[in-house]
Every structure is written in structure tokens, then in C-alpha cells.
């Protein structure tokens, strides 16, 4: 065979080989494109692909794997221009071709594999592979409740519980992390710990304690409306029993974590209340009621009048949780008292303020048809607390009405229209009105007055023996009268009464639930006459507290003490000018209470203010006209705590640090992109080694 024929055969063989490679290449490309087209639609989402148990943050970058075609093309098409080389014989040519193929095939495949892995490693590194739980991939919202109530004053390792909880929070929360945090009194929304660090370290204690429903409700206002986010509610508290968390569905609606902060010394003594038990012209007996928890020895208690120590005693509990101390002190008429003790427990309940002032006399006016005064009213209102005036209707000076605190319509047969109008105005101006009908009452004249109050209307008179059988113990008139609800009470009865329609609450009721006495807020109406031939109510033990408290409603004088957080109403017997207002102050603390002026008094309502305990002065134009005492509620004095480990639907951690370790573990994401970068560098080194040492 000639050389030209051999060369033509070699060229034909080379062309056929190249065609086969091209066909294999295009078939491979078609298969790759088909595979990519068959990928699921969620490929380009945040997390979609799993590689060896890993997930990708940017899976869309995997489209760059198409670049792997480049080294494939390079290696399959090593397109070179053939160089003509004359050979003496075919045997030599065949030897050269075989040796060349054998020497380069291994090196080519090694380089192809190395470059493919190198490029794939770089692409996967940019796709940022990681592993994480499903919870870790959710958007997270965290709201923290930090209890700053008085019970957090308890000590642990020389630090109060609130301070310890605050320090733990500052230690374990990232300074740059945005959080929502609230206490019993303050709310901090979308802030960092760095922003509120000083505020948290100086958090004051408060008597205002949220219950669990209030806490969850407040937390809901701080969470977003995003239904797909994981909402974590963290409660840091000592979890006293008053939180009442058992069987609460509200806490099951969130991922709730509890961190109980407990004291290492459960000892406390509290001054709970005081009362005047006995008094005479020279001495008065002051009873002090105390409660204690694990009290090992008697606790000294001191009584001050202002800055002056006037009495001292010691409370010995023994094996009991309660005890009473009695102080006999001079009846000087005015005492601005302060009781003090020292114990190793909570400090907020170690002081108690009380105020003894000369009480303003309540002016009571009785209007009847008879000239003779009522003996039972003289017995009821004949002491130093009241000024009783009794007038017959035909001799009444209507101008006296505006100067009174309480008006009693005592057994009138008819109420004149003019008097009804004046009495309605008197009641609207803050006075108290007590209506006792006659068995011969003119229903029409009574209704013109009664209809102005709770839409009360007399329907008819009934002659029927009825026994008073029900007492509304929760009514303000009897709220502090009975120590317990009496079952075998000797109830009074009547033989005639009026059937009425009214919107007023019932105070005393007959058998069958018809009312005997109704009323509230300065309006009271008996449905029966109190004459002895009609009713024996005058001989009942109920008459004294009933009339006494109805009369006191006409002038709400300050009590011995008041409790912060409750609505307290106090009447000051003073007539103010149109521009004048009363101020209340203690040292530098001063505020203007809610007040309403009437012709003969000013009614003060204390609700939100004051916020600290002590003896306050009521001031009119720099003149102190009265003093009033406020104390913190004693609900937190009882060192009784919930068994939080027994609560369902919550996760309990022993410390703030362990809680945040748990949350960090639940939210942990392990990234692997660095390992793929290292792999790419190693593969680059492998390629250099192959190029240099593999021939």
C-alpha cells in the first residue's frame, strides 16, 4: 500500500472518531438539560435541595453546574491542527499512536475528574450548604416578661432576685439582638439590650402584679401577625401562687418557657393591717395584725408618730403564721403613725402607715310628718361623729338641705313636688338620700322622686307577713361588717310592704327575693315602713351597721389607712372656689387627684395615684387641710410558690443561661461552605501534582 493511501486511511479513521465524540457530547448535553428541566419547581426557593443530608441557602447557584460542560468539552475536543510528518513505514506510525494513547489516557481522565470536582466544589460553596432542624429555619419572635413585683425583693446569694434575673439577661442576650421585653409596669419594644441596659439595671419594684392572662395578652400585642413565625414567650419570675397558672389555655398557645428565680431563704414577716379596738378620752387601743413565714424568733415592732417613737413591742409567732400586737397610745386626736419592723425577708411590707385625724362630723337631717323626734335616730346618730337635725315637713326650711350630708325622709305620707326636685338636686350634688315610706304613702308623689334614681317605681302596696331572709354580703354597705356569712341569723320581718320595679341592687331581701332595702352610691330606699306596728327592723342587730354606713356614705372621711391599687373615695368637707383645686403631696412627690366639687364638700378619687406608700397631705392653696395614709397591698407577702415542673404546655429551665443555650441549640445552623472551599484548594493542588508527576 502506498504512503498516500495509508495517509488517507488514517485521516478517515480520525474523522470517524471525532464524529463519534461529537455525537456522545451532544447526547450527554441533552441528558443533562433534560435532568435539569425535570427538577421540581421549588428549586429556586430559600431551601430546596438536600445533598448528603445538607440543605442549601442559595440553591439557584447550582445552575452554575452547567459550567462543568466546559472541562468536558475541552477534554473531549482536544482540537489540534494535524502536523504532516513523513514516516518510513506504517509499523513505526502504529507504534507512535498506541504509545501516545496509553500514556495520555490516564492523565486526561484524572485531570477531567479533578477539574470537575474543583469547579463543583466552588459552585456548592457559593450555594452555602448547611444542616439545621425545621425549627431553626423558621423566623423567630421572642418576647420576654421580667417580673419586677415586690416578691422579687427576696435574696439569693446576697443579691435580690430581680437584680440576678437582670444580670443573667444582660449576660446571655446578644447586645445587637432586637428583642421585646416588658415588666409589670413598662414595655420595651424592638430594642437591643445595649439600648436599655441602664434602664434594666435600675428597674424599680412595683406593687402592680400582672396575672397570667394579663401577661399573655400583653405578649400578644408585641408579637407580629405572621402565622409562620415561631413565637417564643419567656417568663422570668418567682412564680408565686397568686399568678394562678394552672389549667390556663392561654399559655398553651405559645412556645412558653419558664425560668423560676427562687430565694435561698424563705423567711418573711409582714404588717398586714391595723384597727382601733377600743378608745376613751385618754387612751386608745391599736391592734396590729401580722403574718409570718418561718419566723425563728420574736421580731421587734416600733410605732412612730411622725419621727417620734411612741411605742415598741415584739411579735412572737411561735408555731403560728399569724399574730396580733396591741399598743395603748395617748388619745391626742391626731396621729400620723408609722409601724416598722426589720426581718431578713421582703422589705416592702416592713412598714405600715396609718392616720388618726379628728373626724369631720356628718350632718344628718331627718324630715317627718310628726313634730316629735324619732328616738331610734337619736340613738343611732347621737354620738360625736354626727350632727342630727330633725324637722317636721310643715316647718322645714328648704335652704337647710344644701348644708347637709345625709337626708332621711322618715315615714312621710306624701312628698311635695318642690321637695322632690330639691332632693334630686341634693343627691346629684353628692349628698346621700335615705327614703323610709309610710304604710299610708301616696304612691304617685313617691314615684316622682324615686323614678329619678335607678328608675325605681312603686307598683302596689301589699299587706302580707314577710320575713327578711337574704343579705347581700358583697354590697358596699355590708362589705366589712360581717366576719363570715351567717346561716342562722335572726332575721327581722314586716307585715306590710311595697312591691317595686327598680334597677338598683338589692341589699336586704324578703323570702321570694322581693327587696326590703335597695340602693347604692348615696341613694337608699326601704320598701316598708319601720314603725314597730309594721316591722321589727328597729329591734334587729342589722339596724346599726345599716344606718351607720348609709350615713357615712354622705361624707366619705379618710379611713385609718388606704391600700394602693384600689379605688379610694374621700370626701373633704370644704367649699372651694371656682378656680381652686386640691393637691396631694408627700415631700417632693405631688399630684392632683380626680376631684369633684359639691356645694358642701369636695370628693377625691384615688386610683392610679399615688404609686408609693406613706402619709400624704391634702393641700388647698398651701394650707394642709387633712392627711391621708396609703400602704402597699400585702398579697405578695405570702411566700407560696407554684410547682412549675408540674405545669403542662410549658418548658421549664433552671436558669436564664440554660434557657438561652436551649434556644441557641434549637436555632443552630451548621454551615459547610468553608469545607467546600478547602476541598477546592486541595483539588487545585492535586491538579498541579497530576500535571507535574503524571506523564
Residue 200: pLDDT band (50, 70, 90) is very high
Give mean pLDDT, residues 504-520.
93
C-alpha cell belonging to residue 285: 387601743
Q: Is the peptide bond preceding residue 610 cis, with omega within 30 degrees of 0? A: yes
Give the pLDDT confidence score for residue 49 in this predicted structure. 44
Separation CA 294–CA 269 (nearest Å): 9
Instruction: Identify whether the C-beta of residue 209 lies closer than 8 Å to the C-beta of residue 635.
Output: yes
Separation CA 408–CA 326 (nearest Å): 38
Cα–Cα–Cα angle for 75, 80, 84, rounded to 5 degrees: 145
Please report which residue ranges of 407-499 form alpha helices under DSSP H: 417-428, 443-450
Whether residues 525 and 472 share a domain: the answer is yes
pTM over 0.85: no
Digit-coded pLDDT (tens) for 36-66: 444 443 333 344 444 455 677 778 888 888 8
Digit-coded pLDDT (tens) for 548-564: 889 887 777 668 899 99
Please indicate, yes or no, if residue 166 is contained in any of the structural domains: yes
Q: Which domain holds residue 477?
A: 362-552
Please indicate, yes or no, if residue 60 is contained in any of the structural domains: yes
Give the pLDDT confidence score for residue 100 in this predicted structure. 55
Digit-coded pLDDT (tens) for 167-176: 999 998 888 8
Whether residues 198 and 58 share a domain: the answer is no
Is 22 a residue whose pLDDT tops 60?
no
> What's the whole-number average pLDDT of the chain?
82
Give the pLDDT confidence score for residue 577 in this predicted structure. 73
Digit-coded pLDDT (tens) for 571-622: 888 888 777 899 999 988 899 999 988 877 888 999 888 999 999 999 998 8
Digit-coded pLDDT (tens) for 150-162: 999 998 888 999 9
Whether residues 25 and 121 share a domain: the answer is yes
Give the pLDDT confidence score for residue 489 in this predicted structure. 67
Give mean pLDDT, residues 318-346.
87
**Domain C-terminal end among 356, 391, 415:** 356
Tell me what percent of the residues of the chain surpass a pLDDT of 90.
36
Separation CA 423–CA 609 (nearest Å): 33
Is 667 a residue whose pLDDT tops 70?
no
Separation CA 159–CA 154 (nearest Å): 8
Please indicate, yes or no, if residue 76 is contained in any of the structural domains: yes
Tell me what percent of the residues of the chain surpass a pLDDT of 70.
82
Is 390 a residue whose pLDDT tops 50?
yes
**Domain C-terminal end among 356, 371, 394:** 356
Whether residues 524 and 581 share a domain: the answer is no
Whether residues 331 and 446 share a domain: the answer is no
Whether residues 67 and 93 share a domain: the answer is yes
Please report which residue ranges of 319-442 form alpha helices under DSSP H: 375-381, 417-428
Separation CA 562–CA 605 (nearest Å): 12
Please indicate, yes or no, if residue 613 is contained in any of the structural domains: yes
Whether residues 379 and 501 share a domain: the answer is yes
- Choose from 3-12, 134-143, 227-236 the range with maximum mean pLDDT: 227-236
Which residue would you say has higher pLDDT here, 388 or 88? 388
Give mean pLDDT, residues 289-296.
90
* CATH code for position 477: 3.40.50.880
SS3 label, residue 515: strand
* CATH code for position 215: 3.40.50.410
The number of beta carbons lying within 10 Å of the beta carbon of residue 316 is: 13
Please indicate, yes or no, if residue 668 is contained in any of the structural domains: no
Digit-coded pLDDT (tens) for 436-451: 999 999 999 999 999 9
> What is the domain count for the chain?
5
Please indicate, yes or no, if residue 246 is contained in any of the structural domains: yes
Digit-coded pLDDT (tens) for 467-485: 998 889 888 888 777 766 7
Please indicate, yes or no, if residue 381 is contained in any of the structural domains: yes
Give mean pLDDT, residues 111-119.
83
Instruction: Identify whether the C-beta of residue 515 lies closer than 8 Å to the C-beta of residue 437.
Output: no
Give the pLDDT confidence score for residue 649 in this predicted structure. 81
Residue 35: pLDDT band (50, 70, 90) is very low
Give the pLDDT confidence score for residue 38 in this predicted structure. 46
* CATH code for position 312: 2.60.40.10
Separation CA 627–CA 615 (nearest Å): 7
Lookup result for grid cell 313636688? 417
The H or E element that residue 76 is part of is: helix 69-76
Separation CA 17–CA 147 (nearest Å): 82
Give mean pLDDT, residues 483-502.
82
Residue 296: pLDDT band (50, 70, 90) is confident
Give mean pLDDT, residues 86-106.
57
N-to-C CA span, the chain: 34
Please indicate, yes or no, if residue 516 is contained in any of the structural domains: yes
Whether residues 373 and 256 share a domain: the answer is no
> Picking from 20-34, 251-265, 422-436, 662-676, which range would have the lowest pLDDT averaged per residue?
20-34
**Domain C-terminal end among 356, 385, 412:** 356
Residue 11: pLDDT band (50, 70, 90) is very low
Whether residues 378 and 489 share a domain: the answer is yes
Bridge-based pairing state of the strands 230-237 and 140-146: parallel
Whether residues 536 and 434 share a domain: the answer is yes
Residue 10: pLDDT band (50, 70, 90) is very low
Is 101 a residue whose pLDDT tops 50?
yes
Whether residues 479 and 524 share a domain: the answer is yes
CA nearest neighbour of 545 among 480, 469, 466? 480
Give the pLDDT confidence score for residue 564 in this predicted structure. 93
Give the pLDDT confidence score for residue 103 in this predicted structure. 56
Whether residues 348 and 374 share a domain: the answer is no
> Picking from 311-315, 331-335, 507-511, which range would have the lowest pLDDT averaged per residue?
331-335
Is 136 a residue whose pLDDT tops 80?
no
Give mean pLDDT, residues 83-100.
55
Amino acid at each position: 500500500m502506498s504512503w498516500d493511501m495509508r495517509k488517507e486511511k488514517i485521516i478517515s479513521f480520525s474523522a470517524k472518531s471525532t464524529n463519534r465524540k461529537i455525537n456522545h457530547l451532544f447526547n450527554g448535553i441533552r441528558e443533562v438539560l433534560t435532568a435539569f428541566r425535570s427538577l421540581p419547581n421549588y428549586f429556586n426557593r430559600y431551601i430546596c435541595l438536600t445533598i448528603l443530608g445538607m440543605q442549601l441557602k442559595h440553591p439557584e447557584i447550582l445552575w452554575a453546574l452547567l459550567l462543568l460542560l466546559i472541562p468536558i468539552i475541552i477534554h473531549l475536543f482536544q482540537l489540534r491542527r494535524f502536523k504532516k510528518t513523513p514516516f518510513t513505514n506504517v509499523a513505526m506510525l502504529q507504534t507512535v499512536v498506541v504509545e501516545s494513547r496509553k500514556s495520555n489516557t490516564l492523565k486526561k481522565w484524572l485531570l477531567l475528574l479533578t477539574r470537575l470536582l474543583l469547579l463543583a466544589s466552588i459552585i456548592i460553596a457559593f450555594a452555602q450548604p448547611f444542616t439545621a432542624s425545621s425549627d431553626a429555619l423558621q423566623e423567630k419572635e421572642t418576647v420576654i416578661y421580667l417580673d419586677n413585683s415586690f416578691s422579687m425583693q427576696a435574696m439569693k446569694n446576697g443579691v435580690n432576685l430581680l437584680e440576678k434575673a437582670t444580670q443573667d439577661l444582660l449576660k446571655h442576650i446578644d447586645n445587637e439582638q432586637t428583642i421585646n421585653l416588658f415588666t409589670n409596669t413598662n414595655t420595651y419594644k424592638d430594642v437591643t439590650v445595649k439600648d436599655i441596659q441602664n434602664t434594666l439595671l435600675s428597674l424599680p419594684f412595683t406593687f402592680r402584679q400582672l396575672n397570667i392572662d394579663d401577661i399573655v395578652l400583653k405578649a400578644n400585642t408585641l408579637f407580629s401577625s405572621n402565622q409562620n413565625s415561631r413565637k417564643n414567650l419567656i417568663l422570668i419570675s418567682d412564680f408565686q401562687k397568686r399568678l394562678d397558672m394552672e389549667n390556663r389555655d392561654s399559655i398553651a398557645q405559645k412556645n412558653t418557657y419558664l425560668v423560676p428565680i427562687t430565694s435561698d431563704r424563705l423567711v418573711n414577716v409582714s404588717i398586714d393591717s391595723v384597727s382601733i379596738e377600743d378608745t376613751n378620752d385618754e387612751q386608745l387601743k391599736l391592734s396590729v395584725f401580722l403574718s409570718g413565714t418561718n419566723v425563728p424568733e420574736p421580731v421587734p415592732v416600733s410605732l412612730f408618730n411622725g419621727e417620734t417613737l411612741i411605742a415598741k413591742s415584739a411579735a412572737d409567732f411561735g408555731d403560728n403564721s399569724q399574730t396580733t400586737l396591741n399598743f395603748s397610745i395617748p388619745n391626742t386626736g391626731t396621729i400620723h403613725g408609722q409601724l416598722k419592723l426589720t426581718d431578713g425577708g421582703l422589705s416592702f411590707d416592713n412598714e405600715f402607715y396609718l392616720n388618726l385625724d379628728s373626724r369631720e362630723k356628718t350632718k344628718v337631717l331627718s324630715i317627718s310628718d310628726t313634730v316629735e323626734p324619732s328616738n331610734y335616730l337619736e340613738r343611732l346618730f347621737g354620738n360625736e361623729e354626727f350632727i342630727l337635725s330633725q324637722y317636721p315637713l310643715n316647718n322645714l326650711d328648704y335652704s337647710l338641705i344644701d348644708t347637709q350630708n345625709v337626708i332621711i325622709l322618715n315615714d312621710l305620707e306624701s312628698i311635695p313636688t318642690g321637695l322632690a326636685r330639691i332632693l334630686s338636686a341634693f343627691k346629684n350634688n353628692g349628698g346621700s338620700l335615705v327614703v323610709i315610706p309610710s304604710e299610708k304613702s301616696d304612691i304617685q308623689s313617691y314615684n316622682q322622686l324615686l323614678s329619678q334614681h335607678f328608675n325605681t317605681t312603686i307598683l302596689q302596696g301589699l299587706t302580707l307577713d314577710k320575713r327578711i331572709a337574704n343579705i347581700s354580703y358583697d354590697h358596699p354597705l355590708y362589705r366589712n361588717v360581717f366576719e363570715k356569712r351567717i346561716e342562722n341569723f335572726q332575721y327581722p320581718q314586716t307585715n306590710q310592704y311595697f312591691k317595686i320595679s327598680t334597677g338598683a341592687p338589692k341589699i336586704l331581701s324578703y323570702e321570694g327575693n322581693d327587696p326590703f332595702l335597695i340602693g347604692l352610691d348615696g341613694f337608699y330606699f326601704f320598701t316598708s315602713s319601720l314603725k314597730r306596728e309594721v316591722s321589727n327592723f328597729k329591734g334587729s342587730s342589722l339596724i346599726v351597721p345599716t344606718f351607720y354606713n348609709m350615713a357615712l356614705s354622705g361624707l366619705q372621711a379618710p379611713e385609718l389607712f388606704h391600700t394602693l391599687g384600689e379605688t379610694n373615695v374621700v370626701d373633704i368637707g370644704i367649699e372651694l372656689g371656682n378656680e381652686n383645686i386640691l393637691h396631694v403631696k408627700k415631700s417632693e412627690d405631688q399630684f392632683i387627684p380626680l376631684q369633684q366639687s359639691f356645694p358642701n364638700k369636695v370628693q377625691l378619687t384615688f386610683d392610679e395615684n399615688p404609686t408609693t406608700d406613706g402619709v400624704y397631705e391634702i393641700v388647698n392653696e398651701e394650707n394642709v387641710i387633712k392627711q391621708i395614709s396609703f400602704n402597699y397591698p400585702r398579697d405578695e407577702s405570702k411566700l407560696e410558690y407554684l410547682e412549675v415542673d408540674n405545669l403542662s404546655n410549658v418548658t421549664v429551665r433552671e436558669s436564664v443561661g440554660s434557657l438561652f443555650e436551649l434556644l441557641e441549640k434549637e436555632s443552630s445552623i451548621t454551615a459547610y461552605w468553608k469545607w467546600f472551599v478547602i476541598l477546592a484548594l486541595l483539588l487545585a493542588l492535586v491538579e498541579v501534582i497530576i500535571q507535574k508527576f503524571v506523564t
